[in-house]
Amino acid sequence: MFALRNDLAGIDWAAVKADLRRDGFDNGRTPDELYRSFAASAHTSVAWIGDRVVGTARLLADGICNAYLVDVWTAVGYRRRGIASAMVTDLLGRVPGHHVALFTEHAEALYRGLGFEVEEVGMSMVVGRWLNR
Ligand SMILES: CC(C)(COP(=O)(O)OP(=O)(O)OC[C@H]1O[C@@H](n2cnc3c(N)ncnc32)[C@H](O)[C@@H]1OP(=O)(O)O)[C@@H](O)C(=O)NCCC(=O)NCCS
In this prediction, residue 61 carries a pLDDT of 98
C-alpha–C-alpha distance, residues 107 and 22, integer Å = 18
In this prediction, residue 130 carries a pLDDT of 96
The closest-lying atom of ligand 1 relative to the alpha carbon of residue 88 is: 12
Ligand 1 near 47 CB (within 6 A)? no
Distance 59 CA to ligand 1 centre (A): 18
In this prediction, residue 120 carries a pLDDT of 84
Please tell me whether the overall predicted TM-score, pTM, comes out greater than 0.85 for this model: yes
Q: Above 90 in pLDDT, residue 69?
A: yes
pLDDT digits (tens, 9 = 90+) for 73-88: 999 999 999 999 999 9
pLDDT digits (tens, 9 = 90+) for 101-129: 999 999 999 999 999 999 988 999 999 99
Distance 128 CA to ligand 1 centre (A): 32
Domain boundaries, the chain: 3-120
C-alpha–C-alpha distance, residues 115 and 14, integer Å = 33
C-alpha–C-alpha distance, residues 3 and 100, integer Å = 24
Fold entry, domain 3-120: Aminopeptidase (3.40.630)
The average confidence (pLDDT) of the chain is 97
Percentage with pLDDT > 90 across the chain? 98
